[in-house]
Structure 1
């Protein structure tokens, strides 16, 4: 269990109205949507970014790798360093960093400036996501905490499945730089909403970094993190490069790419809520289904995805399966460490984003070294590997 130092907690949210509490929950959910959308925006814009900055698609994929690595490191560090500060102030400050990062990406005249901007996005994202998990318990009555937590994390799932196609559409209509400006505008609006809707949230407990790291000793949590690492690495090894794959395998143009990603997104929203309900009953069975369908879909796309109709069907199945990953694994992590929610969530964010970075990195190396469709074989293989800890080691809810 993480070591914590108790500090004053006046629980201002408990004293406020129910409407204010739920308004705050919605603001935080929009915040998680915004930070994860900002992180993954390059996925749907990879080809034009590479062309504009004069780098290969594999190198352009590092815009995702860098952000994920920074978020992976910053999540546990920021949870510890900022542990004594009012959470409303911290969230607004981190969202402001996100605004600057997205504007920097939109302006970037070369790849070096883009890298610096994406570092800022990673800092903002890692901190917001890690802190969000521990806030809902202070905004709503105890009986509503589960619903509020699901709403906050639905922002992450929705960003994974809707933010990317939205960015691709904006990029196709007005250019990739406009997509980053739009993300900055959304982040700014979210900052204002958080400042207006969240009550004062003095730190309830200061989590020490050493205590967070000791949570790795929790076997159930550790196994859950292994599953996260395999599924997310496999997904992003393939999905970071889905645009050039669809262009090569299916002959899809820029407008059709946006449509295919939208199909993926809609299916992902359905998958998020189906998996959320299933994970409460049986995380093991839910993750078995997710891993199996994800692996099969990714492996089939380069083999049979020559038809746009078949590619669309496979993208729908991909979205349906991956849409449930974040909510299912987050449910498992919080069940494994119910008394250290913020510390466990910071580790979840760290592993999740480290896996995003690793997936984008090894996918890029495969794309540049072997060929673009190789990323699908790599991603499918890692998703298959996730079946081992899920089936043989991960126990059901006890």
Structure 2
């Protein structure tokens, strides 16, 4: 593990400082998810205000994914010797700028410019935050650090998406981006203070990407990640209009249910450390992806029942909360010495799949209805589950 000279040498203080630094990265993933997925809770108001359909408004989710897919490996190549603290602060600055542009966007193309900038932040931050957090703790604490940083995803859906929907309903969708701008600035300052200097450990280049891609476990993880991301975002991107127009929920009820989804996701995130330790990453991964598949597929057919649909959405949140943690642990176990390169590749394929899922889900939502986007998500999740099932355990401690 890399030792950071900027930290106090007292073991207790050092441990506290390291976990505060890890927490700052978790806050970064929270701000990132908040910004990336904020349009999901505001899709209908944005579409109405900027004169586009809900399916077209899904481009606000798809575009950052496309840019992030290119940005993750590109940033890794051009920042080979750049201190990781400096890099992470630059990427956090992209989140601030993206929100600020969205605040003042009076046309859909202007909004997309801000989302394009966000894509660079998404691609880089996801690629480097978890490996950086992993460097701050011991080997025995690595799963906990990964879970904590990944928890930003669940917290973002707990507080961000429903709160954004609620603020948007009361004060307009621009106010939601305004609040998010202030939040992103606060996170930037926290990271500036809490993160120690993190010099680049290796001179990463194209060769390291090609080398890690040749590792069988990594390739399998990337393949699973493609189906997983496409499954989630072909359905989740259109959850708000599905709840509004199919299930017939009010704006306040949608906010509450999205919060329930996020709370369940947070529980799923922190349970993952236990389930991976007890059952191995393969079984934990498979169980949660199948739970996601069945909850989304059944929900697509039960929009007439508010209770059933709401219960299934919460189960969906519980399942997805665990999946990013499982995927990161899978990649780490497959190539622990090349985790940064593996993480960059994972972000690349994940974001391509996210964008593809949002795009094709949008096509189905516009032509066949939002329930059809849910069916697509469920089928893709089943394919991800099959890929996990036929894979071998990642290490000798992982049960077959």
**Common fold, TM-score beyond 0.5?**
yes
Q: Helix, strand or coil for the counterpart of 2:203?
A: strand
Match of 1:181 among 161, 178, 183: 178
Alignment TM-score, normalising by the size of structure 2: 0.92
- Quickly say closer, same or farther: Cα 1:37–1:394, change in 2 above 3 A: farther
Q: Is the 8 A contact 1:12 1:201 kept in 2?
A: no
- Quickly say closer, same or farther: Cα 1:137–1:56, change in 2 above 3 A: closer
List aligned pairs for 1:300-319, cutoff 5 A: 300-319=298-317
Aligned partner of 2:51 in structure 1 is 54
CA distance in 2 between counterparts of 1:138 and 1:376 reads 38
113-122 vs 147-156, greater mean Cα deviation:
147-156
Say whether 1:382 aligns with 2:380. yes
Aligned partner of 2:124 in structure 1 is 127
CA distance in 2 between counterparts of 1:46 and 1:181 reads 17
Aligned partner of 2:4 in structure 1 is 11
- Quickly say closer, same or farther: Cα 1:24–1:262, change in 2 above 3 A: same
Aligned partner of 1:241 in structure 2 is 238
Match of 1:278 among 267, 271, 275: 275
Aligned partner of 1:222 in structure 2 is 219
Match of 1:191 among 188, 191, 216: 188
TM-fit CA distance, 1:22: 2.0
Q: Is the 8 A contact 1:334 1:341 kept in 2?
A: yes
TM-fit CA distance, 1:396: 5.6
Q: Helix, strand or coil for the counterpart of 2:42?
A: helix
Q: Is the 8 A contact 2:7 2:17 kept in 1?
A: no
Q: Is the 8 A contact 1:74 1:123 kept in 2?
A: yes
Q: Helix, strand or coil for the counterpart of 2:241?
A: helix
Q: Where in structure 2 are there 5+ consecutive unaligned residues?
A: none
- Quickly say closer, same or farther: Cα 1:143–1:323, change in 2 above 3 A: closer
Q: Which digits, 9 at most, give the CA deviation of each residue in 1:187-230, with x for residues without a partner?
A: 11111111111222222222113321332211111111111111
Say whether 1:269 aligns with 2:266. yes
Q: Is the 8 A contact 2:155 2:263 kept in 1?
A: no
Match of 1:148 among 125, 141, 145: 145
CA distance in 1 between counterparts of 2:157 and 2:73 reads 22
TM-fit CA distance, 1:15: 5.1
CA distance in 2 between counterparts of 1:283 and 1:146 reads 11
List aligned pairs for 1:328-367, cutoff 5 A: 328-367=326-365
- Quickly say closer, same or farther: Cα 1:233–1:91, change in 2 above 3 A: same
Q: Helix, strand or coil for the counterpart of 1:324?
A: helix
Q: Helix, strand or coil for the counterpart of 1:311?
A: helix
CA distance in 2 between counterparts of 1:129 and 1:79 reads 11
CA distance in 2 between counterparts of 1:318 and 1:162 reads 17
Alignment TM-score, normalising by the size of structure 1: 0.93
**Two-structure CA RMSD over aligned residues (Å):** 1.8
319-328 vs 282-291, greater mean Cα deviation:
282-291
CA distance in 2 between counterparts of 1:218 and 1:143 reads 23
CA distance in 1 between counterparts of 2:138 and 2:221 reads 28
- Quickly say closer, same or farther: Cα 1:262–1:385, change in 2 above 3 A: same
In the alignment of these two chains, the number of paired residues is: 390
TM-fit CA distance, 1:142: 5.0
Say whether 1:287 aligns with 2:285. yes
Q: Helix, strand or coil for the counterpart of 2:88?
A: helix
Q: Which digits, 9 at most, give the CA deviation of each residue in 1:67-102, with x for residues without a partner?
A: 111111111111221121122221112111210111
Q: Which digits, 9 at most, give the CA deviation of each residue in 1:237-273, with x for residues without a partner?
A: 0110011111222111211111111111111111112
CA distance in 2 between counterparts of 1:252 and 1:111 reads 27
CA distance in 2 between counterparts of 1:128 and 1:387 reads 27
Q: Helix, strand or coil for the counterpart of 1:350?
A: helix
Aligned partner of 2:89 in structure 1 is 92
Q: Where in structure 1 are there 5+ consecutive unaligned residues?
A: 1-8
CA distance in 2 between counterparts of 1:60 and 1:228 reads 24
Aligned partner of 1:69 in structure 2 is 66
- Quickly say closer, same or farther: Cα 1:394–1:55, change in 2 above 3 A: farther
